[in-house]
Chains A and B, each alone.
Chain A
């Protein structure tokens, strides 16, 4: 597609439920990133996929968070047993390659998650 597509755009869930957030990167982009943005805050790195390399999971805040990517296409971020502090906008980005070309992230519009 023309841009990074994320779904759903909004998600309201009850505390304790699991949620799955989806990201479709730009076709041909080998690198994919997930960030979290809490209200009034900057973006917080979560995880980074680059081609067939092992993902960099160093930003995942707890073992309730996990992400998968199928080849160089769709990625899913899963949050298990959601807590109120998980409420945020989850942003996905992709870039043409890793290395210095990975600096230029193209972001989707995000999924706004509200845990009630």
Chain B
């Protein structure tokens, strides 16, 4: 079993829809939770970063972490065609392992006009 599981999709939604992306994990040592966006043939770029449980909002994006359920989510409101990309969740245990991120498989999202 992988430490981080993410539904690869693909997910296709109409412009303006609310998108929900999710990951589950098994390692209870994870303390830092991130969402990266990756466009085709580019490196991932950091979208959101959350420490421990709770919610964080940034514009149209909201990240949620539920450590008791080992479940994290990213919500995208009013989705745009420019949001079409692969979304990767990533996690770190911190401590001496800050730099070691464990990634999910990535979910391919297409937002059509």
Instruction: Spell out A's residues near B (CB within 8 Å).
Output: 4, 31, 33, 35, 40-45, 48, 50, 56, 58-59, 91, 93, 95, 98-100, 102-110
Which of B8, B41, B101 touches A105 (beta carbons < 8 Å)?
Answer: B101
- Is B88's CB under 8 angstroms from A95's CB? no
Q: How far is the CB of B13 from chain A (nearest CB, A)?
A: 21
Q: Are B105 and A42 in contact (CB under 8 A)?
A: yes
- A42 vs B42: C-alpha distance when bound (angstroms): 14
List 26 interface pairs A-B (beta carbons < 8 Å), by A numbering. Answer: A4-B43, A33-B99, A35-B101, A42-B6, A42-B88, A42-B104, A42-B105, A42-B106, A43-B90, A48-B99, A59-B100, A91-B44, A95-B99, A98-B99, A100-B32, A100-B98, A102-B98, A103-B49, A105-B101, A106-B46, A107-B43, A107-B44, A107-B45, A108-B43, A109-B43, A110-B41
Number of B interface residues in the complex (CB < 8 A): 27
How distant is the Cα of A4 from the Cα of B43 in the complex, in angstroms?
10
Count A-B contacts at CB 8 Å.
70
Q: How far is the CA of A100 from the CA of B100 in the complex (A)?
A: 11
Report chain A residues within 8 Å CB of B41. 109-110
* B46:A105 contact, CB within 8 angstroms: yes
Chain A residues positioned under 8 Å from B8 (CB to CB): 40
How many Å lie between the Cα of A110 and that of B6 in the bound state?
Answer: 22
Docked Cα-Cα span, A48 to B4, in Å, equals 20
Please judge, given known A-B contacts A42-B4, A110-B43, whether A103 and B100 are in contact too, CB under 8 Å: no
Distance between Cα atoms of A106 and B46 in the complex (Å): 8
Which residues of B sit under 8 angstroms from A59, Cβ to Cβ?
100
Q: Quick one: which of A43, A59, A102 has the most chain B CB within 10 A?
A: A43
The residues in B between 5 and 39 inclusive whose CB is less than 8 angstroms from any CB of A are 6, 8, 32, 34
- On whether A56 and B105 interact (CB within 8 A), knowing A42-B88, A108-B43, A109-B41, the answer reads no
Q: Chain B contacts of A110 at CB under 8 A?
A: 41, 43
The answer for the CA separation of A2 and B17 in the assembled complex, in Å, is 34
| B4 nearest CB neighbor, chain A only | A42
Judge whether A103 and B104 touch: CB under 8 Å. Answer: no
